[in-house]
Amino acid sequence: MDCLIISGMSGAGKSLAVDVLEDIGYYCVDNMPVRLMPRFVDLFPDSPARYKQVAFVVDVRGNKDFQALFSTLDDMRRGGISCRVLFLECSDSELINRHKANRRRHPLDVEGKGIAAAVADERALLEPVKNHADYLIDTTVLSNAQFKQHLINLFGEEGGQGLMMITVNSFGFKYGIPHESDMVFDVRFMRNPYYVTEFRDKNGMDKPVYDYIFESGEAEEFSRRLADMLSFLIPQYIKEGKTSLVVSVGCTGGRHRSVAVAERLHADLKALGHQVAVKHRDVTRALT
């Protein structure tokens, strides 16, 4: 019997996770009070087929003291039930944007506290759950499709359990390093197409610009070594339970060199069989 606890920040994707898990066979219960979990589990023996895989959403809506969650899970494990915890993470700025977009009040936004303060309070309350999680997924840069596939990989019977979702970001240092980065690489040492008049208004996805950058032996060797290093590191991270990796590649403005190298890394990792997406954060910014 498999019991999955879904927790995490409000707006990080718990509702979408429930939809996906239901599609792959989980019986899901949203906003589950921790103290009611053992009583619900008592129903399992009566309907073993229906309750073979169960997911409980446990968050700040129905719980404030999460120490009870850990003792309840220990009791369930002693009773022979497999229990795992999935924690959904997201950056503060993205959470605030999502709450503003969907116009739903944050569950801790009471008495005019405001979204930012509510998010901070929620993060502090959920820190123990995050620290005890078996799976941690940061949805900051994931599209819905990428997030869905990631969940299927982890929890679907034929989904390729153990795969990692890799996101390659390009960015401009002048606009700041992406806060969701696990690794940051600086490619400002490469020849800069910005100073070639015919390339200035183009970007690293345009073939002439891409070819100009990779005509340099340094760019080619750097990309090869980066792919080799990640090929070694990714299996090690998977062994430690890491399920997502954000690799950020930066140049000055995030338009030429970082874009080209990110595209190359995306292609190299995909050719090696990894699940990888590419995102160009600053490529559409106006040239200054």
Q: Are 119 and 96 in contact (CB under 8 A)?
A: yes
Instruction: Name the pLDDT band for 162 (thresholds 50, 70, 90).
Output: very low
Kindly tell me if the per-residue pLDDT of 184 is higher than 90.
yes
Of the two residues 140 and 152, the one the predictor is more confident about is: 140
Tokens 């005509």 locate to 215
Percent of the chain residues topping a pLDDT of 90: 58
User: According to the model, what pLDDT value does residue 244 have?
Assistant: 81
- How far, in Å, CA of 276 to CA of 273, rounded? 9
At residue 65's C-alpha, the angle toward residues 61 and 71, to 5°, is: 115
**How much is the pTM?**
0.61
Q: Residues 238-254: what's their mean pLDDT?
A: 86
- Mean pLDDT taken over the chain: 88
At residue 246's C-alpha, the angle toward residues 57 and 225, to 5°, is: 150
- How far, in Å, CA of 255 to CA of 251, rounded? 8
Which tokens go with 111? Answer: 């008495």
Of the two residues 163 and 173, the one the predictor is more confident about is: 173
Instruction: Name the pLDDT band for 50 (thresholds 50, 70, 90).
Output: low
- pLDDT tens readout for residues 79-136: 888 899 999 999 999 999 998 888 778 889 887 789 999 999 999 999 999 999 999 9
Give the up-direction half-sphere exposure of residue 159: CA atoms within 13 A in the CB hemisphere: 20
Kindly tell me if the per-residue pLDDT of 169 is higher than 90.
yes
- pLDDT tens readout for residues 186-230: 999 999 999 999 999 999 999 999 999 999 889 999 999 999 999
Of the two residues 160 and 176, the one the predictor is more confident about is: 176
User: According to the model, what pLDDT value does residue 241 have?
Assistant: 61
Please list, in sequence order, all residues whose beta carbon lies within 8 angstroms of the beta carbon of residue 81, skipping any fewer than 6 positions away: 1, 2, 3, 41, 44
Which tokens go with 199? Answer: 């390339």
Q: Are 198 and 258 in contact (CB under 8 A)?
A: no
Q: Residues 271-277: what's their mean pLDDT?
A: 89
- How far, in Å, CA of 63 to CA of 31, rounded? 9
Kindly tell me if the per-residue pLDDT of 163 is higher than 60.
no
User: According to the model, what pLDDT value does residue 49 have?
Assistant: 59
Kindly tell me if the per-residue pLDDT of 48 is higher than 60.
no
Domains and CATH numbers, the chain: 2-155 (3.40.50.300), 165-280 (no CATH)
